[in-house]
Amino acid sequence: MIKKLALLACSFGAVFASEKTNILFIFTDDHATQAISAYGGRFAKVAPTPNLDRLADEGMLFKRCMVTNSICGPSRATILTGKYSHLNGFMVNEKTKFDGSQQTFPKLLQKAGYETSIIGKWHLGSTPTGFDHWDILPGQGMYYNPDFDNAKGRYQVEGYCTEVVTDKALNWLKNERDNSKPFMLMVQQKAPHREWSPALKYLNAFDDVTMPEPDSLFDDYEGRGHAARNQDMSIEVSMELGKDLKIKEFDKKDQLAKRIHKRMNPEQLKAWNAAYEPKNQALLKAKPKGKDLVRWKYQRYIKDYLRCIKSVDESIGQLLKYLDESGLAKNTIVIYSSDQGFYLGEHGWFDKRFMYDESYRTPLIIRWPGHTKPGSINSHLVSNLDFAETFLEVAGQAIPEDMQGASLVPILKGQNPKDWRKTHYYHYYEFPGWHMVQRHEGAYDGRYKLMYFYDINEWELYDLKTDPKEMTNQFKNPEYASVLKRMKQELNKLRIQHKVPKNKIKDVSNPSKKYITNHKAEVIQ
């Protein structure tokens, strides 16, 4: 009798698992929407992303997914908690550890019977909690022959990081998970994070292509404030020929060797040198200067970045193929996103942090068979603040009242919620810090964007309908006086709504830390 009851319980457990929607969350680091052909943009024809495009064709593409804080760790903390940085405690990357004792959506899914797993980049300084299985890159992780940390300790795996993470994810899906339970798997890639190192097989991709430049590659920041002019993230000055662009003659701090060459075996290094050295020597011989050197740096940067994306897109194809072949596709929601956007030469920059569109907006593509109309395009103001709530509702679970976002489930089902947010709040805290972007907060309503750089008491107002590239600050323009008044009121409402403490913004900088800033551009002699 006991055995019969046990078998009956297992049977009900299997039925229960089959009724629950599996969740596959695919996440990258610094992936700009400009580099996904489904979003359009200048690379759509020269560097297509067929597997991401397939996901968009079979699901919903969100045109306005905005982050709460455009920097890696804080974005990840927001996704886990459904809370802004000032409430989840992870406001800056530097010297910060995520408080794993707090409420997170993986913990709530565990209580709901889900098996949870995270594989790849964690970047929160602490040991993951709320996961039945975790196998993560320490820190930023390495592109070649990366180390991993799990419950047993640290170990190294030979291969290219994106491919290794994908193989680990597929192995967990095929061989390691409990098939009697629904799963939530987070596949988190390092790519395409700085220093944009491609898989060996793609080192020569795009060699015969001249990548299109953004109109603002040589932006002079006229009419804008000190923050835009005095950052440390320009291709011209801040992008290093050695560390970033892989020219060993300029690798004064041995960074290239430490991060790349010493990670490689002889065969890998041979392939690397065969791809880069002829191009590097041609540059050293030509000795370009001024704008010509900036253009060369841009081409090297953007090609390596897009080469990394080729592996990301390939990984997505492998995961989708397994879902199809295993029969899991019909009962699995697939979410693709990144921790924030990235500058691909716009305003002459790389990196993120600013509330300007290229880094404030992040990709979001979701496929949910039987619920989301294929080929849907959505323009609601959504956010990474909404991810935790979405996962919980997909799993049939209640959303805690202290979470600050809203579930995307109604939108995914084609509804137009009347109470959906009309404005979105942003807050960046890390100054002084890498790339020296001033701390700022702001409000965005889908057309107008108000930004306040509070340490230097400067305001910026943009009309993205007439000025989508955010080149003209309208803050002092009397024609925008009523807009400015309304947006300031909205910013105050958002501060109150999201419980932003006024004193908190003064407590997070680290003046004692030495940062490289305002260094001179490298010149080829």
pLDDT (0 to 100) of residue 514 = 54
pLDDT tens figures, 125-155: 999 999 999 999 999 999 999 999 999 999 9
Question: Is residue 6 pLDDT above 50, yes or no?
Answer: no
Query: Higher confidence at residue 315 or residue 259?
Result: 315
Question: Are 18-197+299-421 and 428-506 in the same CATH fold?
Answer: no
DSSP-assigned letters across all residues of 322-352: HHHHHT-GGGEEEEEEESS---SSGGGB-S-
Question: Is residue 58 pLDDT above 70, yes or no?
Answer: yes
- Each domain of the chain, given as residue ranges in start order, spans 18-197+299-421, 428-506
Question: Is residue 295 pLDDT above 70, yes or no?
Answer: yes
Given a contact cutoff of 8 angstroms between Cβ atoms, the answer to whether 365 and 60 are in contact is: yes
Question: Is residue 9 pLDDT above 60, yes or no?
Answer: no
The hierarchical CATH code for the domain 428-506 is: 3.30.1120.10
pLDDT (0 to 100) of residue 182 = 98
pLDDT tens figures, 438-458: 999 999 999 999 999 999 999
Question: Is residue 15 pLDDT above 50, yes or no?
Answer: no
- 443 pairs with which residues across the strands? 425, 450
Mean pLDDT of the chain: 93
Band of the pLDDT at 515, cuts 50, 70, 90? low
pLDDT (0 to 100) of residue 503 = 61
Query: Around 269, how many Cα atoms within 13 Å sit in the side-chain half-sphere?
Result: 11
DSSP H or E segment with residue 403: none
- The domain at 18-197+299-421 falls in which architecture? 3-Layer(aba) Sandwich (3.40)
Band of the pLDDT at 5, cuts 50, 70, 90? very low
pLDDT (0 to 100) of residue 336 = 98
Question: Is residue 516 pLDDT above 70, yes or no?
Answer: no
> Lowest mean pLDDT: which of 38-42, 107-111, 213-217, 504-508?
504-508
pLDDT (0 to 100) of residue 271 = 96
Given a contact cutoff of 8 angstroms between Cβ atoms, the answer to whether 92 and 430 are in contact is: yes
> Lowest mean pLDDT: which of 158-162, 249-253, 409-413?
249-253
Mention every residue, 6+ apart, whose C-beta is less than 8 A from residue 407.
Answer: 386, 389, 390, 392, 393, 399
pLDDT tens figures, 328-377: 999 999 999 999 999 999 999 999 999 999 999 999 999 999 999 999 99
pLDDT (0 to 100) of residue 505 = 56
pLDDT (0 to 100) of residue 290 = 96
DSSP-assigned letters across all residues of 285-300: HH---HHHHHHHHHHH
